[in-house]
Amino acid sequence: MDRQINHPTISEAEIIRPTHVEVNLKAIAENYRKVKKHVAPAKVIIILKANAYGHGLVRIAQFIQELKADYLGVAVVEEGILLREKGITVPILVLGGIWGNQVPLFLKHNLTITASSIDKLKQIDEVAEQMKIKAIVHLKIDTGMERVGVHYYNAEKFLDAAYKCKNIEVEGIFSHFASSDAADLTYTRLQLERFMEVLNYFAKHSIETPMRHISNSGAILQLPEANLDMVRPGIILFGVYPSGEVKRTIEVRPALTWKSLVVYFKVIKPNHPVGYSSSWKADKNIRAVTVPVGYGDGYLRSMSGKAEVIIRGKRYTVIGTISMDQIVVNINNDSAYNGDEVILLGSDGENEIKCEELADWAGTIPYEILTNINTRVPRVYKE
């Protein structure tokens, strides 16, 4: 195993925190190969934003580079710079918009820029001329998200401006689906239609079409006609489906197991409240254990009264309000001992707690569960 140290002043031998995440790199490799085969001959840009969906940005990027990935995608320039500083040489697209004086950072670190307006194009072109560097850009078209990007119905002027810039190489053009993980793909197909209409510009002007990409995890699973030249898998790379509605046309397996240990055992008497706000009381003597994980680690407080864990292969209920650093688990009349393993997310024997379950308990989506696992939780990598 390879442990990522989140606190550089602490040596590996000194990390003794029982709450940690195990990441199965083999599962990620298998998921990647399945996606790549499913979308061939399209290229694959692996999306690693938000700390690689909680799996650890740097180590996952290093591993993906070993798999000879075509491209990596991140959300913000800081993520791209960190990867370059850690020796990642694969092309990296920063999907988020640029602002202020960030352009020189993109060019200095050989990062591909998302250009989302005519003004941004001019800014990139001017800085690239000053630095005597050719800027690599992907043009962002808004087909129905209303976040960043030029509206599809205004795209022609935007594309005209892009090809007038002497210091810019238009490598790609892309958009983003709003609801490709839904059972009803009507709006997704409309977005694809809008994007394809924009792409007619290149044939009309006898310009070589740049790399086209719009397909995210949901579309990869459900809309093969959207694969185009490149696809952008995110959460499915890590073995989690983007929604309960999506068709599971690729069988992926979770790469992340979230674990802790029992650190305290007690018997709780009737009418003795558990946790903050004294919201839970037993009506008889119960056995309970304390586990050192809480909302400060990303084990969300909104799961209070619903969450379950696995101890010794059995499911047990978390009782009381989830604290910042600890939870209390009702083990009924069973036995558990200090040092017993606790599965917060993952499987033990025939029992499994899925990311989707945590999301249901918290009233959110699997993406938020994974990306909320705090960096104070050590990541351990299984080769």
381 is catalytic: no
Residue labelled with tokens 């010794």:
312
Burial of 52: CB neighbours in 10 Å, binned 0-12, 13-18, 19+:
buried
Structure tokens at 32: 């990647």
β pairing state of 43-47 and 71-74: parallel
Among the listed residues 295, 342, 343, 345, the one whose alpha carbon sits nearest the alpha carbon of residue 321: 295
HEC string of 347-382?
EECCEEECHHHHHHHHCCCHHHHHHCCCCCCCEEEE
| Type of residue at 158 | F
Out of 108, 276, 337, 382, which one is annotated catalytic?
276
Among the listed residues 100, 102, 94, 99, the one whose alpha carbon sits nearest the alpha carbon of residue 73: 94
Strand, coil or helix: what is 70?
Answer: coil
Out of 32, 36, 49, 241, which one is annotated catalytic?
49
358 vs 220: CA distance, rounded Å? 24
158 vs 148: CA distance, rounded Å? 13
49 is catalytic: yes
Residues whose CB falls within 8 Å of the CB of residue 269, separated by 6 or more in sequence, listed in order: 282, 285
Contact yes or no for 64/234 (Cβ under 8 A): no
Contact yes or no for 175/210 (Cβ under 8 A): no
Among the listed residues 79, 54, 58, the one whose alpha carbon sits nearest the alpha carbon of residue 376: 54
Q: Give the 3-state secondary structure percentages of the chain, helix then strand then coil, rounded to 5.
A: 35, 25, 40
10 vs 8: CA distance, rounded Å? 5
33 vs 359: CA distance, rounded Å? 27
Q: Which residues belong to the active site?
A: 49, 276
